[in-house]
Each structure stands twice: as structure tokens, then as C-alpha cells.
A and B are shown apart, each in its own frame.
Chain A
């Protein structure tokens, strides 16, 4: 029924992943000009973890951490009823006003861009941010919508049938990113 995958290659190890997040944190601070109006909003689930880690790094640079929120895009998906099973609604937790702020959306993998489209709609329903930017750990290409990230941990050319797995200590016990390919040709 569901496709099984085997690991093809490791793309980022623990050190490289950490370095990528550090660089993203620096770029966010640089572009924001040290303003405190930046808020990070992670897309559930791994985007939230990445947003928290980037926030920690910004705190180390700036002295204070930016606000961090968690966004669940399930209710904004464009494929309702197309999947065999209804996606689980996990809830949005953004406890600060986003009106007039620079909001950096954070996700693990950027692929078709549909998740980001849903995330922007979800965000707009909560208020009117001044700017929305996008930070992703891995950009694997194959966009289906005109969406482009502002901060990229790693550009990773992939084929459509492959899958990119981001593993994080908090969820998977280890920090690494791998490319997987289907076991069935």
C-alpha cells in the first residue's frame, strides 16, 4: 500500500545541520537589522523544533530570543478528501500579535510549495504581518507554486520519486538529513 524507502545518501550530519541553522540565524538578524519585531513561526511538527533552535541562536547573537509560534496548516490544505485518511489537526499556538511584524516561517523541507501557500493563508487569518519571509532547512526543488525561500540551509537537487527525511534529536533521537529512494523501482 504505502511506499517503503531505503536510505540513499546522507546530506547533512549533526555538525552540518547545526552550522546551517547558525547561518540562517545570522542571516535573519542581518536582514532584520537587529530589530526586535521579528517573530519565528514554525510549521508543525519539525518546523517548530527548527524555529525554536534558530530562536536560541538568535538569542545568543542578539541577547534576547525572538517570539516563537507554532502553526498547523491542516485546516488550510488544498487536498481535503483526496487522501485516504484525514490528516490530523494538531492546533495552532501563536500567542503574540503578528500584526505589523516581520514573521519568518520555518519549515524543514521545501518541496511543492503547497504547505507554504497554506501557511501564508493561515497566518493572514491571524493578522496582517508587515513581511513574511521563509526559512527552510532543505530546498529540494519541484515547486508547483511561485514560492521562493529567503533563507536556505541546503539546496538539494532530488528526483521526484525520492524523499527527503529530516531527523531531529527531539523527535528522532538524532540530527541528520538523508535522501531516501523507494525500495520498489
Chain B
């Protein structure tokens, strides 16, 4: 029961009861978004540092709003134009930031494991906001919150994750989180973009989109990074879109209550047809709204925990 960790680094580390606790806390936070004055005094006098070594608008803004609604002081530290370009190492930067006594540091880094490294060296709480192709736990938590909200429960559902699973930290975090919450997960995509030992994570693998989504309660479309094409992993965007893109036509064989999710930003017309992105099945904007609530919950639990 409750939350006892100093950091939130991965969905793989945390238990189902802890996931449920974050989701319950986030659900209570949602009410604040509907207020005229969107601010509670909870984290007054606490400092949250956003340490982003990779471009991100959505996630950084989401953490920033979450911190501000809880009255924390939120400071953004972006790597470009800073000490990093002058040759300072990640750890030195972090120790310098620590010397300014923050309560929580939110880290995004292109290297897998960077947040875990910082967590070992810093006394304050560390949140992984995406590390390389490893994990993005708050994204998985907001996805789970959205699914639970729409379906009323998680246990027993079928979810299909479609696209570039190999390079996706969103997929990895969701696979761990969904499996722990009793969701059956299928991953689908071209063989070049599905990791060979994927089954070891307890997921089914499919190489046919129609078959993979036929019984799904949730379809999660992943963003196709354009650089994958240069790497020769897909023949062309057009072909990828034709075979693996979700169109209204392909949706015809799905469950009538299917949820379409996407972690954003959407490549309209590549992985998701515009009519699908704007259809009533799409919960993409609910995901964004729930992102703030989940991050409020995480900041609350980390900044207030005795371990921090």
C-alpha cells in the first residue's frame, strides 16, 4: 500500500499495487483541472527541475503544468545552449543542480539508463521522462489511466501495440505496465521493427495488422520515426502507411467500442489516417489531459515521500 520509492524509473520495477496507487491518486487530481482556479498549495516551497537532454514539448510542458498546479517552483533546464555544450558530463550537471536543493528532478535523455544513474547519485527524487529506447513510465501510467477511465477496469482487456516496437520506450513501458495490470498484449509491426525476443516480455507477436486488431479493446499506434527509413528498416513511408497505418477501412473489422491511442506527436497519414485520429474512437486528447493528472500524482508522491 502507498508509495515508498524515492524515484520513478521504470514500469518494470514497480508493482501492480503501486501502479494502482498512482492511478487512484491521479484520478483525484483530475478534479483540479476543472476548477476555475487551478492551483492547490500542496508542493509550496518545493522545487522541481526539468532536466531535458532531448527535445520534448509535450512531456516537459505536462510536467511543468503539473508542478505549477501543485504550487511547486518548476525550473526548466534544457541541454542545448547550456553547460553540456561546454563539455560538462551528465553527472556533473546533475550534481550542480543538486547543490541548488531541488526536491524532484525530471530527466529525459537519449541514453538508456541515464535517469537510473542520476537516481543513484542524487538525494532528491528522480523521474524518468524517457530514456533512449528503454522506458517512459509516466506515459504508460497516463495510458493506463485513460484505458481504466474509458473501460472501467484493466484486468482482462486486450491491447494491441502497432508499429516500431523495437525503438519505442513507450511500447516497452506499456508492455510492462499492461501485463502487470492483467491486460493481454499483442505487438504488431513489420519484422524489422519488432524485437526478436519480444515474446519473453509475455506478449503475442503478429505480423498482420487486421488479425492483430480484430479483438482488441485498445489499439495503441506508435509514432514512426522518419529516420527508420534511412536505416533501411522500412521500404518507404507510403508502403508502411498502406500496410501498417490505421485507416477507417481497417477499423471496420474491429470491436465497436475499441479505443485508439497514440503517444503523440501524430504523423497524420502515416501511422494514423486523419479520419481515425479525429474519430470518436480516438482518445488521444484524453491521454494528454490525463498526462497532467498522472504527473501531478507522481510529483506529489515523490516530493512528499520521506525517502526523498
Contacts and interface: CB of A to CB of B under 8 A. Distances in A.
Contacts of A121: 41
Interface stretch (A56-64, A74-82, A104-112): A74-82
Interface in B252-304: 297, 300-301, 303-304
Interface stretch (B26-34, B111-119, B138-146, B184-192): B26-34
A86 interface: yes
A1 interface: no
B77 interface: no
Nearest to B25: A89
A169 B303 CA distance: 36
Interface of A: 72, 74-77, 80-81, 83-86, 88-93, 121-122, 125-127
A1 B24 CA distance: 27
Contact of B301 (A72, A86, A122): A86
Nearest to B43: A80
B23 to A, nearest CB: 12
Nearest to B32: A75
B303 A85 contact: no
A90 B27 CA distance: 8
Contacts of A76: 40-42
25 contacts: A72-B28, A74-B28, A74-B42, A75-B40, A75-B300, A76-B41, A77-B42, A80-B43, A81-B304, A81-B308, A84-B306, A85-B2, A85-B3, A86-B3, A86-B305, A88-B2, A88-B21, A88-B25, A89-B28, A89-B300, A90-B28, A92-B31, A93-B31, A125-B35, A125-B39
Interface of A is mostly: loop
A108 to B, nearest CB: 20
A158 B33 CA distance: 41
A80 B41 CA distance: 11
Nearest to A76: B41
Contacts of B43: 80
Contact of B29 (A86, A89, A122): A89
Interface string B37-50: 10111110000000
A84 B308 CA distance: 11
Contacts of A90: 28
B42 A75 contact: yes
The 10 closest A-B pairs by CB, nearest first: A91-B28, A89-B28, A75-B40, A75-B42, A85-B2, A86-B304, A80-B304, A89-B25, A81-B304, A92-B31
A93 B32 CA distance: 10
Contacts of A84: 306
The CB with the most chain A CB atoms within 10 A, among B29, B37, B304, is that of B304
B42 A80 contact: yes
A75 B4 CA distance: 18
A126 B42 contact: no
A92 B21 CA distance: 17
Contacts of B27: 91
Nearest to A126: B35
A140 to B, nearest CB: 27
The CB with the most chain B CB atoms within 10 A, among A85, A89, A90, A125, is that of A89
A91 B2 contact: no
Contacts of A75: 32, 40-42, 70, 300
A125 B35 CA distance: 9
A88 B31 contact: no
B67 to A, nearest CB: 14
Contacts of B35: 125-126
Nearest to A87: B304
